[in-house]
Structure 1
Amino acid sequence: MENTPVTSPTTGGHAGYIRIATEEAWATREITDEWRRMIDAGEGGPGFLGMVGHYMTSDADRPRFVRAGLEDAGELRLAHMDAAGIDHAVLALTAPGTQVLDAARGVGIAANANDELAAAVERHPSRFTGLAAVSFENVPAAVAELERAVSKLGLRGLIVNSHIRGRYLSDPEFWPILEAAEALDVPVYLHPNTPNDAMIGTMQEAGLDGAVFGFQVETSLHTLKMITSGVFDRFPRLRLVIGHLGEALPFWLYRFDYMHQGMVASRRYPSIKPLERKISEYIQDCIWITTSGMPAREPIMFTRKMVGDDHVMYAMDYPYQYVPAEVEMQDELPMSLTEKKAFFQDIAIDVFGLDAKAIGAV
């Protein structure tokens, strides 16, 4: 890679900004035990068994590192953050979260996870912020839990680990949850999951079902379904956050607009209705993008150009992708100090409603 920095990153704002990592995975022992039970029973479908089965059972170095990192919200995680120069992390229940569980199991597991995460934030308020988990299988309970997690526990958003056993937030059944997020003024983080059972077969045969490709396909599909279903017309103040430089969506803006306009005019698909705005405008105005797992200069600068500098912010994707050198790569991006401060710090403070003083922002 070009642009190798002279010194390694350190915490404390010495660069002129603190680094807030905005897509950092975490899990409770309760949910990983439930996942292991499902794996042993052969439950959850091919995507779950392929991805979670690997990370929960493999003895290879990377899955072992991931397991240790996921279940830690203390000394190990903080040591890794310090070594990489990460001042603050936005933690969220890792994929697939509760979204492979029925409501009977998911409601309680989500509530317990929120309690545990809030306790971790209380122990380390300058280092951690948390996003709330809910069980989407029980929408009234999900609304109540999101309100509790934000209003009483102090969590700062909602994590959605993409499809809900093959269903998407484009379905109006789930819109009361989005309405609650908008009313609470907290963002929704749409995190990848493996493709649903109807999509995954060919990808899995080729080894392309996970983060290498399948995640991008599944999450970009979910995002587009939300847009074309009218979610952002119905909830114009809703803030959606997606990772991995927008799951390739910024590259397609012109084509989305052109093709959607033609489909509306031809009435080819009953599901494609007129929208108040262009697809590109929803992506540019309603969606914030993080760099999780995507540290290269050219794609980051391209994404900033396509969606706006004020809609792209830093993330690491710990513990799945923990490479301290990638922090250095982003420190060396061709931006002014003011732009880097926004990229690493200020946009995240604004989107997640963080207390700048409490987290030591410069």
Structure 2
Amino acid sequence: MDEEPKMHMIATEEAFATPEYLEALRNLGSTSTSDVVRYAAYFLTKDPAATGLCDVETRLASMDANGVDMHLMSLTSPGVQLFDADLGTHLAQQTNDRLAELIRQYPTRLAGLAAIAPQDPTRAADEITRAMTELGMHGIIINSHTNGEYLDERKFDPILEAAQRNKAPVYIHPTFPSDDMFKPYSVYGVSGAIWGFAAETGLHAVRMVFGGVFDRFPDLQIVLGHMGESLPYWLFRFDNIYDMMMSQGQVPAGMIKLERKPSEYVKSNIHITTSGMFSDDVLKFAIDAVGAERIMFAIDYPFESSKAGSDWIRAAPIAAEQKEMILSTNAQRLFKIKP
């Protein structure tokens, strides 16, 4: 029996860091009074998996061992958003320059998403333009909230305008819940990948939908990892409760009239990836909910097993054309990665 031909495999949520960023994070964690900052700094600098963030040779060896052709790399959470605006902006620029250099060395194996510091929306918008036009990046990484603030707030419109103008997809990656949200998540290990990451990042995306972001920026494309941070599961509920409130006059303070159903924005302005969610049942549900054309393969290197993720997607019980879209062609289209 002939073997199935190998499909090109692009992994789209693959973390990296620079030594300078990790050192800045250690210093911040040692002096901050914020439980969230200290916890995030401890997690990243003590996690054994973090040793793979800076080592490109280890990364390439893992890719080769597991048949992964390309990593779309992005600065690991919590990113530069914990720092003051000047240091955050400097670290973002430095990180983007370093990532661009790695991509030039390995142009067929590595691609990148640029970090920005939303603490200063104007400079962040400028960095989006620089990253997309001068550095050849393929989009933007934002590690969810910035000091408890979210992209639906009008102060961040310069960032969204620059992303839309430069056709830069914005990957909203999880971080720990904000100080205002953190306390109930601080026990049993649920503040991170078990639940807190999805709850916080899903909240971010929901705020963008119901805040009318995609009416203001209709061409903006957002990417959510971990099979959409639960949003695909809630599409009926979004529409049903929103319609009920609007039709019955039970409109909560701040709710606005959207131009379309909430679910339609998820299906037209949001893509999702498989990072850390290597489940046949969840994949099949996501395909039914949002369509295979809006799903991309991701591993979450180095925090998840590259072997587990790669073996799973190759064996996933879905149609070959759907698998090809998820493995490569969706990423090539959205992030403008050359085949």
TM range (shorter): over 0.9
Unaligned 5+ segments in structure 1 are 1-6, 8-13, 357-362
Deviation at 1:201, TM superposition (A): 0.5
Match for 2:28 among 28, 38, 44? Answer: 38
> Is 1:76 aligned with 2:58?
yes
1:269 is matched with 252
Instruction: Look up the equivalent residue of 1:48 and give its one-letter code.
Output: V
CA shift, 1:267, in A, is: 4.6
The answer on whether the counterparts of 1:250 and 1:303 sit within 8 Å (CA) in structure 2 is: yes
TM-score by length of 1: 0.90
CA distance in 2, matches of 1:264, 1:71: 50
Letter aligned with residue 276 of structure 2: G
Q: Which residue of 1 aligns with 2:200?
A: 218
The count of corresponding residues between Structure 1 and Structure 2 is: 336
Structure with larger RCO (C-alpha < 8 A, sep 6+): 1
Which stretches of structure 1, 4 residues or more, deviate above 3 A after TM superposition?
Answer: none
Comparing 163-172 with 327-336, greater Cα deviation is found at 327-336
Aligned match of 1:103: 85
Alignment of 1:1-80 (within 5 A): 15-43=5-33, 45-56=34-45, 58=46, 63-64=47-48, 66-72=49-55, 74-80=56-62
* Percent identity between the two aligned chains: 38
Which one of the candidate residues 130, 134, 153 is aligned to 1:148? 130
3-state SS in 1 of match to 2:111: strand
Name the CA distance, whole Å, in 2 between partners of 1:78 and 1:136: 31
**Other structure's SS at 1:201 match:** helix
1:248 alignment counterpart: 230
CA distance in 2, matches of 1:324, 1:15: 19
* Alignment partner of 1:306 is 2:289: yes
Question: Does the CA-based 8 Å contact 1:166-1:196 persist in structure 2?
Answer: yes
Whether 1:206 and 2:206 are equivalent positions in the alignment is no
Q: Tell me the residue number matched to 2:305.
A: 322
Structure 1 CA distance for aligned equivalents of residues 304 and 5 of structure 2: 23
Give the Cα–Cα distance (whole angstroms) in 2 for the partners of residues 315 and 283 of structure 1. 19
* CA offsets 1:299-327 (integer angstroms, 9 cap, x no match): 00100100011001100000111240331
SS, match of residue 144 in structure 2: coil
CA separation in 1, counterparts of 2:40 and 2:200? 14
Cα RMSD over matched residues? 1.4
Whole-angstrom CA distance in 2 between matches of 1:15 and 1:327 = 15
Could you state the TM-score of these two structures normalised by the residue count of structure 2? Answer: 0.96
Residue 11 of structure 1 corresponds to none
The question of whether the paired residues in 2 share the 8 Å contact of 1:263 and 1:272 is answered with: no
Stretches of structure 2 lacking an aligned partner (at least 5 in a row):
none
Matching of residue 161 in structure 1 with residue 110 in structure 2:
no
What is the SS of the residue equivalent to 1:289?
A: strand
Contact persistence 1:16–1:337 (CA under 8 A): no
How far is 1:268 from its partner? 3.2
